[in-house]
Amino acid sequence: MTEQTMTLPAAPPIATQEALHAVIERDLAQLDRSLREQVETLTPAQRRTVPGTGGWHVDAVCEHLCLGNEFYLRAMTAALDAATRSARSEATGTTRPASRQAAVTPWRPALAGRLLVHALVSPRRMPRPAVLTPGPEPRVQVLESLLGSHDALRALLQRAAGVEWRRVRFSSPFARLIRLNLGDGALVILRHGERHLGQVARIRATILS
């Protein structure tokens, strides 16, 4: 038997923070459009219909995404606030830890962020933190809440335009030893949403067949 070694996925071809921001804005807009097309065209009863194969209904998937986004946005906001305070406190010195110094800002994922995003775009199943399991009754207007969390991400990234995202670091809300940067966190929210958009489409096809 030969020993198998893990080959890391190739780094995404995004070299600058500005390019990453544009990709996130573009793909978030497409995600929002697709969610509306898939969910808003269902009746309230259809959105709460569990497919014959079992699992979650459409609103439960949206609730799961809301929960995940809330955890990440809290962690990312706290990290940005800390980085902003650090930059202000160093404003009279020679260095500014998270402040952007160049017109074009380099960006690269943290190793953990790179692996996590790769896992999210892979068809393989992933373990789910128990706190992200939706309850029996999703929140009222769950789709609107989900889309609102995307707006909150947009606002956070806009506020962070003047700092280096790769230097704004935080621990994963679900695994403290996993360290990510601000760009990683934004990509996790985006790709997680896209992953479950596919699930919504499959549920929709099943209940409408």
- Domain residue extents for the chain: 26-87+109-208
The Cα angle at residue 132 between residues 57 and 129, in degrees rounded to 5: 125
Rounded alpha-carbon distances, angstroms, from residue 150 to 28, 147, 177:
7, 5, 26
Contact 173, 75 (CB under 8 A): yes
Q: Are 79 and 168 in contact (CB under 8 A)?
A: yes
- pLDDT value for 85: 84
Q: What is the pLDDT of residue 14?
A: 87
Report the CATH superfamily, name and number, of domain 26-87+109-208. Answer: dinb family like domain (1.20.120.450)
Distances in Å between the Cα of 14 and the Cα atoms of 20, 90, 93, 114, 203 are 6, 29, 31, 12, 33
Instruction: Give pTM, 2 decimals.
Output: 0.87
Q: Specify the residue for token string 């996590």.
A: 116
Using CA atoms, how far apart are residues 16 and 104, in angstroms rounded to an integer?
A: 7
What span, in angstroms and rounded, lies between the C-alpha atoms of 17 and 15? 7
User: What separation, in Å, do the N-terminal and C-terminal C-alpha atoms of the chain show?
Assistant: 46
Distance between CA 108 and CA 13 in Å, rounded?
9
Could you tell me the two tokens for 128? 């789910």
- Which pLDDT tens digits describe the chain residue by residue (209 residues)? 333 333 434 444 688 999 999 999 999 999 999 999 999 999 999 999 999 889 999 999 999 999 999 999 999 999 999 998 876 666 555 444 555 544 589 999 999 999 999 999 998 888 889 999 999 999 999 999 999 999 999 999 999 999 999 999 999 999 989 999 999 999 999 999 999 999 999 999 999 98
| Tokens standing for residue 121 | 């775009």
